[in-house]
């Protein structure tokens, strides 16, 4: 997390024309800041192959899509339609990158600060004069974000009506034509709309001066993809309930890496959480020296909530009710040290717990053999006989733990078996036919079967039936339950849950 998380960046720069009749007009992009003005330094990001040198500030459209209103009347001197040329320029980006323009063929005033995007020929830049060699201007408005650079929420294009335009391909100024090609101007400005900056290091339509390049180049396309697929460059681990031990250190992903630019180089780990039903998620990022910051975001990195660090100490605590859906839990720190007692790298333990009205989906199915996995698994632990499910309990509560297997179509009606295991540290316990957990190890041979039967569509398994840990002398415990099934004609294959059913007992 950036200490100043509301920084924003200048969207472009201008270049003076060369003092000769062959001088080529400069592009100009003007950024209109929605919150506060701040001039930043552009970040040059090269691809892994090192072939590209596109310029990104990190500001972009959240979700990688936006509406654009287009209604331009009239034709070029050679008969081409301005409207069709601008729509073709949109298609040049839309058809070749991950960014998506939704075209609305209606006229809007681009000078209105209305949160809508449009284009128009004008004789001024919304109240200001065009520069002497300015062809067009893109006006971008931003909204501050918690993580990364400010998001674009409006981008309008005004095209200098005092410039002579035509529509053609190939070299600039073909023989007998001293007019500027409109389509390459439109393509360039739409690059700014998307979030690209000027590029001087490689041949690109986003060069600061107009030239013979009349379509986006590989460098331009790579810039868009880098900006809008940056999050995919970092691994996402499934969020495991209970304790996960990890660290933030050199070599980890950073915020500027997952957001596609900017200056926040704080370390970050990403955990994915998928909820089929509403639930409350409790998170604690315990550290001894790392200045931890927890955040929860959607899959587009829109931050839903984060720890404001109002309490003293280096650790971070966050609790939030969430609707059904997919989320990212972000284990982060700061880009600069802000506390004398806490640093920006080090080990942490992430404790995650669930509270909800329904059992949890236990992830995808796994298989103990080469047979493709099948079936589905749910489960939960409850201290009120299934009225409410959670993963964290006290030792004096009466706990019911159960799972349910949805058997695959091809296995329903076949003779099969059910198994269940409890993993406690390095210890493996198997649920026997009497409903008791017994210690097991691979040296003991075949894993005990809980039940053998004709398989039905759903197979419930009771793992613990109203057990009070304290009466058994248990004050603390961390258990992962696994449930599975197989067929009698293929006993070496067991289908089981990828995500363990978690139960944690604390005093």
Element (H, E) at 91: helix 82-94
- On whether residue 265 sits in a domain, the answer given is yes
Q: Are residues 246 and 119 in the same domain?
A: no
- Which one of 304, 326, 355 terminates a domain? 355
Q: Are 484 and 419 in contact (CB under 8 A)?
A: yes
Query: Domain holding 50: CATH number?
Result: 3.40.390.10
Q: What kind and span of H or E run contains 466?
A: strand 458-467
> Parallel, antiparallel, or unpaired: how do β-strands 346-356 and 303-306 relate?
unpaired
- Among 380, 381, 355, smallest CA distance to 281 is for 355
Please check whether residues 192 and 267 belong to one and the same domain. Answer: no
- Residue 15, in any domain of the structure: no
Domain shared by 223 and 268, yes or no: no
- On whether residue 160 sits in a domain, the answer given is yes
- Do 69 and 210 sit in the same domain of this protein? yes
pLDDT given at position 38:
22
Nearest to 496 by CA among 403, 359, 376, 371: 376
Residue 268 in this model has a pLDDT that exceeds 70? yes
Residues 129 and 64 in one domain: yes
For residue 293, give the nearest of 2, 1, 3 by alpha carbon.
1
List pLDDT tens digits, range 58-109: 899 999 999 999 999 999 999 999 999 999 999 999 999 999 999 999 999 9
Do residues 355 and 380 lie in contact, with contact meaning Cβ atoms separated by under 8 Å?
A: no
Tell me the C-alpha distance between 214 and 181, whole Å.
8
What would the mean pLDDT of 312-328 be, rounded to a whole number? 95
Q: Are residues 346 and 364 in the same domain?
A: no
- Which three-class secondary structure string do you get for 175-241? CCCCCEEHHHHHHHHHHHHHCECCCCCCCCCCCCECCCCCCCCHHHHHHHHHHHCHHHHCCEEECCC
Residue 197: inside a domain = yes
Please indicate, yes or no, if residue 180 is contained in any of the structural domains: yes
pLDDT confidence band for 1 (50 / 70 / 90): low
Tell me, what's the pLDDT at 115?
96
Give the residue from 355, 378, 408 where a domain finishes: 355
Residue linked to tokens 């926040």:
264
Whether 87 and 220 share a structural domain = yes
* Number of structural domains found in the chain: 3
Q: Are residues 160 and 67 in the same domain?
A: yes
6 pLDDT band, cuts 50/70/90, is very low
Q: Are residues 173 and 262 in the same domain?
A: no
pLDDT above 90: percentage of residues in the chain: 85
Q: Where are the beta strands (DSSP E) in 70-128?
A: 100-104, 119-122
Q: Residues 416-422: what's their mean pLDDT?
A: 98
Residues contacting 2, CB < 8 A, separation 6+: 255, 262, 263, 264, 266, 334, 335
What does the alpha-carbon distance between residue 309 and residue 412 come to, in Å, rounded to a whole number?
52
Amino acid 385: pLDDT = 87
Per-residue model confidence (pLDDT) at position 46: 28
% the chain with pLDDT above 70: 89
End-to-end, the C-alpha distance of the chain in Å comes to 34
Q: Is residue 12 part of a domain?
A: no
The verdict on 183 and 151 lying in the same domain is yes
Type and span of the H or E element at 356: strand 346-356
pLDDT in tens, 466-506: 999 999 999 999 999 999 999 999 999 999 999 999 999 99
Answer yes or no: do 419 and 490 share one domain: yes
* The dihedral formed by the CA atoms of 331, 334, 337 and 339, expressed in degrees to the nearest 10: -70
CATH number at residue 299: 2.60.120.380
Could you list the residue range(s) of the whole structural domain that residue 389 is in?
360-506
In a domain, 222, yes or no: yes
- CATH number, domain of 474, equals 2.60.40
Read off the pLDDT of each residue in 129-157 and give the average, rounded to a whole number.
Answer: 94
- Which of 186, 206, 228 is the C-terminal boundary of a domain? 228
Are 403 and 351 in the same domain?
no
Q: Could you tell me which residue, 1 or 429, shows the higher pLDDT?
A: 429
Domain contains 424:
yes
């Amino acid at each position: 997390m950036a200490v100043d998380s509301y920084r924003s960046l200048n969207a472009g720069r201008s270049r003076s024309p060369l003092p000769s009749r062959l001088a080529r007009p400069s592009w100009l992009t003007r950024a209109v800041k929605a919150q506060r003005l701040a001039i930043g330094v552009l970040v040059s990001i090269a691809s892994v192959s090192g072939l590209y040198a596109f310029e990104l500030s990190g500001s972009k459209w959240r979700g990688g899509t936006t509406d654009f209103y287009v209604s331009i009347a009239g034709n070029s001197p050679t008969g081409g339609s301005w409207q069709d040329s601008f729509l073709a320029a949109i298609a040049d980006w839309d058809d070749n990158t991950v960014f998506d323009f939704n075209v609305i063929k209606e006229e809007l005033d681009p000078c209105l600060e209305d949160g809508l995007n449009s284009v128009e020929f004008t004789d001024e830049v919304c109240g200001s004069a065009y520069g002497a060699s300015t062809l067009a201007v893109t006006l971008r408005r931003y909204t501050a974000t918690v993580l990364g650079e400010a998001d674009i929420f409006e981008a309008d294009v005004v095209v200098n009506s005092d410039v002579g335009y035509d529509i053609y391909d190939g070299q600039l100024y073909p023989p007998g034509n001293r007019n500027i090609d409109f389509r390459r101007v439109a393509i360039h400005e739409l690059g700014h709309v998307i979030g690209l900056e000027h590029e001087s290091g490689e041949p690109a339509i986003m060069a600061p001066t107009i030239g013979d390049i009349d379509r986006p180049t590989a460098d331009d396309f790579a810039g868009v993809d880098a900006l809008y697929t940056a999050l995919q460059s970092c691994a996402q681990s499934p969020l495991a309930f209970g304790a996960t031990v990890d660290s933030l250190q050199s070599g980890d992903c950073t915020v500027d890496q997952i957001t596609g630019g900017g200056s926040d180089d704080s370390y970050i780990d990403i955990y994915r959480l998928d909820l089929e039903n509403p639930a409350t998620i409790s998170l604690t990022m315990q550290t001894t020296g790392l200045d931890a910051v927890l955040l929860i975001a959607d899959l587009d990195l829109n931050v839903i909530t984060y720890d404001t660090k109002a309490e003293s100490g280096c650790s971070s605590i966050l609790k939030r009710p969430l609707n059904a859906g997919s989320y990212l839990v972000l284990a982060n720190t700061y880009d600069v040290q802000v506390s004398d007692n806490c640093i920006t790298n080090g080990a942490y333990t992430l404790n995650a717990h669930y509270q909800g009205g329904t059992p949890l989906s236990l992830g995808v199915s796994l298989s103990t053999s080469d047979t493709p996995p099948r079936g589905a698994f749910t489960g939960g632990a409850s201290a009120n006989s299934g009225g409410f499910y959670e993963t964290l309990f006290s030792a004096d509560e009466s706990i019911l733990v159960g799972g349910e297997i949805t058997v695959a179509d091809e296995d329903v009606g076949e003779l099969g078996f059910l198994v269940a295991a409890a993993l406690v540290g390095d210890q493996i316990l198997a649920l026997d036919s009497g409903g008791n957990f017994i210690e097991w190890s691979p040296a003991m041979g075949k894993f005990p079967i809980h039940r053998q039967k004709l398989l039905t569509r759903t197979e419930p398994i009771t793992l613990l039936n109203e057990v009070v840990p304290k009466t058994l002398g248990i004050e603390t415990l961390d258990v992962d339950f696994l449930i599975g099934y197989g067929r009698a004609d293929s006993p070496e294959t067991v289908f089981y849950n990828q995500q363990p059913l978690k139960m944690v007992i604390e005093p």
